[in-house]
Structure 1
Amino acid sequence: MASQPEQRSKVARRALLGTALCAGLVATLLTTGPARADHRDDAWTVSAPAAHEPTAHIRLDDTTGTVSLSVTRRGRTVIEPSPVGIVTEQADLSEGLRFLHRKDRLVDERYRAKSGKRLDRRVRMNETRLSFATPTGARLDLVVRASADGVAYRYVLPGGYGAVLGETSAFNLPPDASAWLGAYRVDNEGQFAQYTAATAPTGEYSDQALFETDGGYTLLAESDLTGDYSGARLAHDQGTGTYRIELADDRVQADGPLATPWRAMVTGDLATVTRSTFTDDLAPASKVPDGSWIKPGTVLWTWLAGGREAGQSLAAQKAYVDYAAERNWPYEAVDAGWYFKAGEWDTTDPDWQTNSWMPELVDYARAKGVGIIVWIHQRELDTPEERAQWLPTLERWGVKGVKIDFMDSEAQPMLRWYDAVLAETAAHHLMVDFHGSTLPKGIQRTWPHVMTLEGVAGEEKRTNTAAHLTTLPFTRNVIGSMDFTPGAFQRVGLRPNSDAAEVGLTVAYESGLQMFAGTPESYDRRPLARAYFDQVPAAWDDTRLLTGRPGREAVLARRGGDRWFLGGVYAGAARTAEVPLTVGPGRWLVETVEDGADGLVRNRRVLRGGDTFAVEVVANGGFAGIACRWRPGVTTCHR
């Protein structure tokens, strides 16, 4: 049976055979082309500015007029020759192409993020724009970028081609390439599992797929996805190494000129991929002119701690605020229930804004130095009228952010909703946490008030595996902040890891709003974990992978000021883990929180940068740590 993209392509081609482009459109297209095309050119390369880094190889088949793209790194295979092309109502831009001209430029930018793996960013990419035309004059520009940590391409079309019916884009991997894939779900909460490229079962997978070839690791991703287009997933047939791009919509409306999202390949050794900000770097610059009100931080999250009953109780929420204030945690999040009343929405009451107890809670929390974040269902914000009711009200009350839930779609209409709500929440100075959502895809550079997104099988799930937890730093969390909500110590038996591993997740997983999911009682019973949470930042100056292998182990170091925070998670049997302290030269005091026979224990050691230290890891365990500069008299890294 033909795949859905193949069927769309066949439909489009039959339409083209039966109906020629109108004469006016052809004339317009032909007059916009260059005076001369170099028909001798049929192969091009685009290399990163740094030597020996990824190189894209683009080739035009003179017989079929099809274009393919492959990627190498240090002369070794990353992506095998793979088809590129797009089909619209009025033009099949996947075959019959002839080369027109090439244009090159250097992309050299600096920007500062509000959250993520590091705040100060430097972008250096070589860009090549290759222009092609069909025999009828239809135009396609293929824009390719290469950076030290990745290769990406996008299609640029003039207006007048009608709806997009699909792409012929695909990624061809060596069949024996190791693959870590998450089954596709509309909420992007699929579990990651390991296969080879060919043995993965037939089906659909998230576009955040990680592969290992002889050229290193490659994470497939997407960037600059807006309501102008449709979200992508990967379609795969078992027995091949081919992963096809399939769109969420059968028809993507295009009302004028179109630039599709970037098809990105984050590429390098595992440390490079883990540290990469490539998908952010590809995205447009910030649309928030003054971001002084955007402040990342740790959050006491009350859903797994108290559920809807806590959300319906002002007294319970005040108690949570008291606990956050005692710990100097900057935020408390009120989840579902706060605008429910007797099973009905409080907003059905015309006086709901007056009757709500939320303003009282916000004022109470403000006096204690705690900001309030509130959960809200997407259906409460799905029209301009509803947003005009809710968002100014929340801003007037003094709410700091909104956790918007249950979008559960990457179809074009929902992406257009994202475009609207992003602009409007920014205008009302509300930070955003998206749940049941799309993946980051560069959104945090363009809209830096988006502090985190779910799009992950997180702490709420009862079927997570330790292998899944150790894969996330190399897949989902590479492309942006991830609201996994660690710290749910009370869920013994419902999570696959140890207490020390649960502490380590707060560093191993990056999130601009790091939501602690435990109960105050569970923290009080684990004072070492509680003290660590008091210290851990939510914004980082740098990130490094110390050691790791997807599905087995992940140890990350993240710098906040002059201290490095360490988070390690492991899958499998108990072991003595060896961790290299590659955080800089000199002498370091390293304090770790580990699993002991009767609970969490703290160990201290003085090491030199580059030394390796041992951690006793229980089955499916882990650890957390802090490294600070040692000098005589320094006995702790805690402040």
Structure 2
Amino acid sequence: MDHELSQSLSAPFHAQLHSPDGNLHITLEQEPNGPLFYTVMNNRYRVLERSPLGLITDQYKLQQGIRIQGVEHNTITERYELVTGKQKSQSYEANELVLLTSVENHQVRIRFRAFHDGVAYRYELQGEGDIRFENELSGFHLPEDRMLNVWAQPFMRCYERTYDHAMPDHLRGRHFGFPLLVQSAEDHWLLLTEAAVDGRYGASHLAADEQDGRKLRIAYAPDQETPIAAKLPLSTPWRVMIIGSLRDLVSSSLTTHLCPPPVLQDTSWISPGRAAWSWYAEGDSCGDMEIQRQHVDFAAEMGWEYSVVDGGWEGVLDAPQLIHYAKARGVGIWLWTHYKGLNTEELREEKLRLWASWGAVGIKVDFFDSDNQETLQVYDAIAESAARHRLMVNFHGSTKPSGEHRTWPHVMTREGVYGAEYYRAQSEGPNAVHLCTLPFTRNVIGSMDFTPVTFSRRTTTTQGLQLALAILFESGIQHYADAISVFADHPGMPLLAAVPAVWDETRLLEGYPGRFVTIARRSGVEWFVTSICAAGGRDVHIPLDFLEDNTAYRAVIYREQAEADEYRYRSVLPPIEVHTETRCAKDTIKIRLKVYGGVSIHLTPQAENK
């Protein structure tokens, strides 16, 4: 660590930070007595123009009259393990610049970190006592010198909208949820989000300037009716820029790198898994003991770890009896609850202690529908109380993730996505364009409870695409949506029994938001590969060079039956065919995908199949 001397108010200020590989360059600057700005470059490409920094509190404004007292430079290396996610074993290097500032005799540190795959910063307010935040001035000024493609989700409190492709001019005066995706050159991408969000500050989103859609700023929750109330010292959430190729974005774990280590010493009771789920097929089934037993039996048959009992069970279902029945069959039971049933300490202790005493393994907590500080404090309290009672958590009707599954490893997933439940209520629901966008947006930043795989509902996708979602979408608890009778007779059933819910490695092989995506995921020595596409259909070439050399693999390929016209969408969907081949690392699998189609491949070393 080195420490530079303080600067005079009358002198301009300039400092730089570089990523460990030297590709990313961050410049901080201040005109005499003026506000602070930062710019970000990726080699010769400008990622962000001169973008503002600052806060407005009830005690001072970190906006003008800022004195630079010094600069610290640090290097960070870290290795850690995650219980769930796209890659369990994590490691990273980062360079850090800490700007030591004072304004009106108040001390504020602005901490920047540069990683191989991105940049982040936060404000660290020193001192003691109470403080109120009236506004945050942090901004992201997208490049002005070129055409940009943007994929942005109009802000909604439960984050259940599509990420729409737009030009910057279309953003003007509107609010958008994190994450927001930007393409500035052929393979130069930026994903904006936030990390380490909790109830000490609350969650944020993006607001575009009324005149210039390339100027985005941090905005507080629309139902944050009073200033954010906090106690010093305090660190704000990180403002995060994931930068690089689409492959860099998909494999990035930047949000977890920025979160504190686990608060739990013993995580042996936490286990990712797949779940049977009756609500999608029969919404009023959750109080029916016979139907719930059938789902437990099916989960046991499939080798799935869990069955989720959704809304409507309380006061109707004999949950202790079901849990006893399920435990005898090696299946754990999750119980649904409205968040208002847990929004006081008395309610949390009463219900969670009771449900844990029955033997429930997890809770699905629904209908938060807010990013305000008070609601984020309820998230925190539920996570803490659930951990004490050894209950895993799935947050539904929720804000987006921000890396918290590192700090709270029993928080297995959250919704915050326009998911499969909308197939029940709408004529179309999530289409193939949306499904081809989620791997580059929402699922980059954390587990996503989309509740995939439905064959029985009428959608504008094919059976091949629906089956592929079991691999494509990562979630620590994977609810499979359709009815038992549909899955039981489907040729894709062996794949659904085999796909795990946690991964050792994730690779993007090819893709473009809204058009097509091919992803490979590894669990142990097995690989699961999937490819889907939107309008037009396409020929997909999948090189298998990620496999071990000099090893033969058994490839089980789940694809749709061939037709004379592969590129025309059919309302009567062709069934799945299953083929088994022997493949090795030198091979390339070539498959023609139908319009809105998909393929899934399960690869295991042949020695593993003896």
Task: Identify if the C-alpha distance between structure 1 residues 201 and 524 changes in structure 2 by more than 3 Å, giving closer, same or farther.
Answer: farther
Shift of 1:194: 0.6
Selected match of 2:379 from 418, 421, 425: 418
Match in the other structure for 1:479: 445
Match in the other structure for 2:304: 329
Match in the other structure for 2:560: 595
Q: Tell me, what secondary structure is at the counterpart of 1:452?
A: strand
One-letter amino acid matched to 1:428: H
Q: CA deviation digits over 1:175-218, x for unaligned, max 9?
A: 52111111111111121111123333531101200111237111
Is 1:180 the counterpart of 2:144 in the alignment? no
Match in the other structure for 2:16: 45
Shift of 1:340: 4.6
Task: Identify if the C-alpha distance between structure 1 residues 568 and 499 changes in structure 2 by more than 3 Å, giving closer, same or farther.
Answer: same
Match in the other structure for 2:421: 460
Which segment is superposed worse, 270-279 or 125-134?
A: 125-134
How far apart, CA to CA, are the structure 2 residues paired with 1:95 and 1:498?
Answer: 57
Is 1:318 the counterpart of 2:298 in the alignment? no
How far apart, CA to CA, are the structure 1 residues paired with 2:299 and 2:363?
Answer: 18
Match in the other structure for 1:195: 166
CA contact (8 A) 2:4 2:71 kept: no
Q: Tell me, what secondary structure is at the counterpart of 2:249?
A: helix
One-letter amino acid matched to 1:435: H
Which segment is superposed worse, 36-45 or 362-371?
A: 36-45
Q: Tell me, what secondary structure is at the counterpart of 1:326?
A: helix
Superposed, which structure 2 residues align to 1:148-547 within 5 Å?
A: 148-159=116-127, 162-175=131-144, 176-200=147-171, 202-214=173-185, 216-236=188-208, 237=210, 239-248=212-221, 249=224, 250-308=226-284, 310-341=285-316, 357-461=318-422, 462=426, 463-491=429-457, 493=458, 495-526=459-490, 528-547=491-510
Shift of 1:417: 1.0
How far apart, CA to CA, are the structure 2 residues paired with 1:210 and 1:114?
Answer: 27
CA contact (8 A) 2:466 2:598 kept: yes
Match in the other structure for 1:10: none
TM-score by length of 2: 0.92
Selected match of 2:519 from 556, 577, 591: 556
Which segment is superposed worse, 242-251 or 374-383?
A: 242-251
CA contact (8 A) 2:337 2:363 kept: yes
How far apart, CA to CA, are the structure 2 residues paired with 1:315 and 1:119?
Answer: 37
One-letter amino acid matched to 1:59: E
How far apart, CA to CA, are the structure 2 residues paired with 1:220 and 1:198?
Answer: 18
How far apart, CA to CA, are the structure 1 residues paired with 2:545 and 2:389?
Answer: 42
Q: CA deviation digits over 1:209-238, x for unaligned, max 9?
A: 011123711110111111110211111136
Task: Identify if the C-alpha distance between structure 1 residues 243 and 36 changes in structure 2 by more than 3 Å, giving closer, same or farther.
Answer: closer
CA-based RMSD of the aligned residues comes to: 1.9
Q: CA deviation digits over 1:70-124, x for unaligned, max 9?
A: 2111231112221111110111102222211011212222111010011111132
Selected match of 2:594 from 601, 618, 628: 618
Is 1:129 the counterpart of 2:98 in the alignment? yes
Match in the other structure for 2:565: none
Shift of 1:35: 12
Match in the other structure for 2:567: none
Match in the other structure for 1:78: 47
Task: Identify if the C-alpha distance between structure 1 residues 610 and 227 changes in structure 2 by more than 3 Å, giving closer, same or farther.
Answer: farther
One-letter amino acid matched to 1:139: Q
Shift of 1:508: 0.8
Q: Tell me, what secondary structure is at the counterpart of 2:474?
A: coil
Q: CA deviation digits over 1:462-507, x for unaligned, max 9?
A: 332211111101110001100000012121x2x3321111111111
Shift of 1:612: 3.1
TM-score by length of 1: 0.88
Match in the other structure for 2:85: 116
One-letter amino acid matched to 2:521: R
How far apart, CA to CA, are the structure 2 residues paired with 1:232 and 1:239?
Answer: 20
One-letter amino acid matched to 1:83: P
How far apart, CA to CA, are the structure 2 residues paired with 1:367 and 1:315?
Answer: 16
Q: Percent identity?
A: 34
Is 1:61 the counterpart of 2:31 in the alignment? yes
How far apart, CA to CA, are the structure 2 residues paired with 1:426 and 1:512?
Answer: 16
CA contact (8 A) 1:89 1:161 kept: no
CA contact (8 A) 2:173 2:213 kept: no
Task: Identify if the C-alpha distance between structure 1 residues 610 and 139 changes in structure 2 by more than 3 Å, giving closer, same or farther.
Answer: farther
How far apart, CA to CA, are the structure 2 residues paired with 1:409 and 1:153?
Answer: 24
Structure with higher helix content: 1
How far apart, CA to CA, are the structure 2 residues paired with 1:112 and 1:38?
Answer: 41
Which segment is superposed worse, 508-517 or 124-133?
A: 124-133
Match in the other structure for 2:57: 88
Q: CA deviation digits over 1:11-68, x for unaligned, max 9?
A: xxxxxxxxxxxxxxxxxxxxxxx9962335611121222232x222211122x52111
CA contact (8 A) 2:160 2:417 kept: yes
How far apart, CA to CA, are the structure 2 residues paired with 1:390 and 1:224?
Answer: 28
How far apart, CA to CA, are the structure 2 residues paired with 1:565 and 1:201?
Answer: 41
In structure 1, the gaps of 5 or more residues are 1-33, 342-355
One-letter amino acid matched to 1:230: G
How far apart, CA to CA, are the structure 2 residues paired with 1:212 and 1:240?
Answer: 15
CA contact (8 A) 2:178 2:400 kept: no
CA contact (8 A) 1:505 1:568 kept: no
CA contact (8 A) 1:235 1:244 kept: yes
Q: Tell me, what secondary structure is at the counterpart of 2:603?
A: strand
Selected match of 2:108 from 133, 140, 145: 140
CA contact (8 A) 2:540 2:591 kept: yes
Task: Identify if the C-alpha distance between structure 1 residues 75 and 405 changes in structure 2 by more than 3 Å, giving closer, same or farther.
Answer: same
How far apart, CA to CA, are the structure 2 residues paired with 1:581 and 1:79?
Answer: 36
Match in the other structure for 2:529: 566
Q: Tell me, what secondary structure is at the counterpart of 2:351?
A: helix
Q: CA deviation digits over 1:437-482, x for unaligned, max 9?
A: 1111011000000111000000012332211111101110001100
How far apart, CA to CA, are the structure 1 residues paired with 2:40 and 2:4?
Answer: 31
Q: CA deviation digits over 1:522-550, x for unaligned, max 9?
A: 11231x21110110001111100011101
CA contact (8 A) 1:304 1:488 kept: no
Which segment is superposed worse, 73-82 or 145-154?
A: 73-82
CA contact (8 A) 1:174 1:197 kept: no
How far apart, CA to CA, are the structure 2 residues paired with 1:196 and 1:623?
Answer: 32
Match in the other structure for 2:571: none
How far apart, CA to CA, are the structure 1 residues paired with 2:98 and 2:295?
Answer: 55
CA contact (8 A) 1:486 1:506 kept: yes
Match in the other structure for 1:579: 542
How far apart, CA to CA, are the structure 2 residues paired with 1:199 and 1:607?
Answer: 47
Which segment is superposed worse, 579-588 or 138-147?
A: 579-588
Q: Tell me, what secondary structure is at the counterpart of 2:194?
A: strand
How far apart, CA to CA, are the structure 1 residues paired with 2:36 and 2:596?
Answer: 46
One-letter amino acid matched to 1:453: R
CA contact (8 A) 2:449 2:479 kept: yes
